[in-house]
Structure 1
Amino acid sequence: MKLTRRQKLTQTAFLTISRFTRGMTMGVRALVVDDSERVLLVRHTYVNGWYFPGGAIDPGEHAFDAVGRELTEEAGIALSGPPRLLSVFQNAHASARDHVVLFHCPDWIQKHTPNVPNREIAEIGFFPMDDLPKDMSPGTMRRIEEWRNNEVATPVW
Structure 2
Amino acid sequence: MAREAFFLQFAKEIRPQLKKTVVYLTGGFRTVPGMVKAIEDGVTDGIGIGRPITAEIDFPSKVLSGKVQSALINPFDQDFAISNIASNTQMWQAQQTPYNPNVDINEGIMDMSDEKVEEHFRVAVQKYAEELVALAKSGKPLYGVFNYTPEQLCEKVAA
Q: Give the alignment's TM-score, normalised by structure 2.
A: 0.22
Higher strand fraction (1 or 2): 1
Higher helix fraction (1 or 2): 2
Q: Give the alignment's TM-score, normalised by structure 1.
A: 0.22
Q: RCO (CA 8 Å, sep 6+): is it higher in 1 or 2?
A: 1
| Larger-gyration structure (1/2) | 2
